[in-house]
Structure 1
Amino acid sequence: MTSTEQQPFLSVRDLKVHFSTEDGIVKAVDGLSFDLAKGQTLGIVGESGSGKSVTNLTILGLHDRHRTAIDGEILLDGTDLLTSSERQLEKLRGNKMAMIFQDALASLSPYHTVGTQISEVFRKHTGASKRESRARAIEMLRRVGIPQPETRVDEYPHQFSGGMRQRAMIAMALVCDPELLIADEPTTALDVTVQAQIMDLLKDLQQEFGTAIVFITHDLGVIADIADDVLVMYGGRCVERGTKREVLSTPQHPYTLGLLSSMPSLEGSVDVPLNPIPGSPPSLLNPPSGCRFHPRCAFAEKVPNGLCSTERPALDVVDGRGSACHLPLAQREEFFADFAGSRHH
């Protein structure tokens, strides 16, 4: 997003993902665009139900095409994923692109050893022998920091700790050296020490392999640690995007400000109150008209003629920086001006 000299390795354009249900159409993603270059990390942040995971499952082609209406364009190194056949996608999954899921215990088969599961991925995509695949599995377990990989390769997922299972999932995702890695809240269920180790591991592996990473999370603290660029989603739409520094230090959208205001700060006074966002995320079966955030927005009343409730704000992006809000940017900056200072006093 921030690089003008590089062609994006992953390019998503006006993506719409709608599901048919008994209750109606769920507009899970409703017009999303972003770019990602090799060796860069894009953090996608938002509350549960904002469309983060749906976006990335769509990139991998993991939706039931008979019940899902998908429109737009997803280009991976020039290949249009939305027009690719299932056979073409199978060749790409695990080989060119891979995913680390949130719950490693649920994602790993309890009936097969960890080594078998990793080596099978390698065999499928490379045609390697069983011996070569086993050696590769041991090598990957060692690379992700699992002790005694020659022994642990023959153990089952339930014999691994939560942190070790997540490392095994990362080993499986990286066994074929994919160029795109999607990490769907991979540290959510881990304690802070293990979480920090996993984050450091991903950064080290990215530096080694030059992998492009899409990192999904609801935690802005994690975003601050790993992302280069940030995309903030709300109600299936992007409401703000920019570099990590831009988004976290000078938010331009009221929703981003709300997320930051509800986070405890490690600096300044402990007496600074947290300001959670009132209300709940919108139903994507019957989302609010206009700006989807307007029922929860403290600034909607400052926009004349009720525009926030009637008209969808455009996402104006200049040099990779932009936000979707009807309130003029100068006024937003004025209203948000005391935010940074208040977090340190």
Structure 2
Amino acid sequence: MTTLTQTEGTPAPTGADPFLSVRDLYVRFSTEDGIVKAVDGLSFDLERGKTLGIVGESGSGKSVTNLSVLGLHNPQSTEIRGEIVLDGQELTGAPEKTLEGLRGNKMAMIFQDPLTALSPYYTVGRQIAEPFIKHTGVSRREGRLRAIEMLTKVGIPQPKLRVDDYPHQFSGGMRQRAMIAMALICNPSLLIADEPTTALDVTVQAQILDLLKDLQQEFGSAIIFITHDLGVIANMADDILVMYGGRAIERGSVKEILTTPQHPYTWGLLSSMPRLSSDIDVPLHPIPGTPPSLLNPPSGCPFHPRCAFTDKVDGNRCSGERPALPAGRSAACHLTAEQKQSIFIESIQPRLG
């Protein structure tokens, strides 16, 4: 099972070292309007061969976190504090040459939009082969053969012909497969998939998910799967980390999060999803309000301005005190365990069916 931890000055758990360990990560961006607090004290661990799903609305810090792991932020406008350790190697503050040796080789990323991530000036095959040539030193001919092999592996028809096509000659699903081929060409130990099924039809979406599972089994990669779609993550991840306002607010196994969620924000995410078993006339229950400004995030619990249950907490704890996320299966919320169970059974569970 994937081990997840959210700590605030808490030491890492004992036992075998995880393959990827993130501890007390803070990411700040300098802008003309002020400092954007994109990630605010995030910690988690990921083991080899496991998949961690990170879910949350846009702006919750999902992609920023994982771009920090790869060292892709502009150091001139970004402040990063905390520890990011990959297979025993500290990445925070590591020289760019060190990170270049790891990116595309030991760790790789499938970006959200393959149309903008792929260059229109070079063939798909050349772009797929580039990291393999760089990290192994093989010739361009050998790199091209390896690109054809990867295009075959990800299900591109006629790969010997399509390897010389340009991105605009590929459909959306094929471009996404090409991005997966590029990310996996060096058999990375860590694969970060940033909403790889966004804007794809459900048939292609299912094929992409099955492909990632098959390739994970073949290469034994650890996967971080970033999405806002809990339906997708249900079939992909071993564990889920729910993020909101740059913080982790709930964690647990897929089964725990989907069947017994503990945080009001997670309740909202699940309640807003359509279900096959529901009557078509039954309305969805969207989360009221808008995500918080990361220039001026709310005090206390970041979700309290949108939460319908703050009146059940004594005093002004929701707005004045930041709830901790204890070790193990937990949620960062001031509601008691009894209150969570009561609210879930009486109000939330009937919506979920």
After superposition, give the CA deviation of every residue in 1:105-125 in whole Å (9 maximum; x if it has no partner): 101111110011111111001
Q: How many residues align?
A: 342
Match of 1:327 in 2: 335
Structure 2 CA distance for aligned equivalents of residues 291 and 86 of structure 1:
36
Match of 1:221 in 2: 231
Cα deviation, residue 269, structure 1: 3.4
Structure 2 CA distance for aligned equivalents of residues 168 and 208 of structure 1:
18
Note closer, same or farther for the CA distance 1:8–1:286 as it changes in structure 2 (3 Å cut): same
Cα deviation, residue 267, structure 1: 2.2
Match of 1:65 in 2: 75
Cα deviation, residue 64, structure 1: 1.1
Contact 2:27 2:78 in 1 (8 A): yes
Equivalent position SS for 1:263:
coil
Pick the aligned partner of 1:117 from 108, 111, 127. 127
Contact 1:267 1:343 in 2 (8 A): no
| 1:232 equivalent in alignment to 2:281 | no
Structure 2 CA distance for aligned equivalents of residues 211 and 152 of structure 1:
27
Match of 2:6 in 1: none
Q: After superposition, where does 1:250-261 map in structure 2 within 5 Å?
A: 250-261=260-271
| 1:190 equivalent in alignment to 2:200 | yes
Cα deviation, residue 293, structure 1: 0.2
Q: Which runs of 5+ in 1 are unaligned?
A: none
Q: After superposition, where does 1:250-329 map in structure 2 within 5 Å?
A: 250-318=260-328, 321-329=329-337
After superposition, give the CA deviation of every residue in 1:84-103 in whole Å (9 maximum; x if it has no partner): 11000000000000000111
| 1:147 equivalent in alignment to 2:157 | yes
Contact 1:317 1:323 in 2 (8 A): no
Equivalent position SS for 2:327:
strand
Cα deviation, residue 6, structure 1: 5.0
Equivalent position SS for 2:92:
helix
Contact 1:97 1:181 in 2 (8 A): yes
Equivalent position SS for 2:235:
helix
Structure 1 CA distance for aligned equivalents of residues 343 and 302 of structure 2:
20
Cα deviation, residue 7, structure 1: 3.1
Equivalent position SS for 1:298:
coil
After superposition, give the CA deviation of every residue in 1:262-317 in whole Å (9 maximum; x if it has no partner): 00112243343311000000000001111010000011111111110001001112
For normalisation by structure 1, the TM-score amounts to 0.97
Structure 1 CA distance for aligned equivalents of residues 174 and 82 of structure 2:
38
Structure 1 CA distance for aligned equivalents of residues 125 and 349 of structure 2:
48
Cα deviation, residue 5, structure 1: 6.8
Cα deviation, residue 83, structure 1: 2.8
Note closer, same or farther for the CA distance 1:145–1:6 as it changes in structure 2 (3 Å cut): farther
Structure 1 CA distance for aligned equivalents of residues 72 and 337 of structure 2:
38
Equivalent position SS for 2:28:
strand
For normalisation by structure 2, the TM-score amounts to 0.95
Structure 2 CA distance for aligned equivalents of residues 126 and 2 of structure 1:
31
Report the identity percentage.
72
Structure 1 CA distance for aligned equivalents of residues 248 and 236 of structure 2:
20
| 1:340 equivalent in alignment to 2:349 | yes
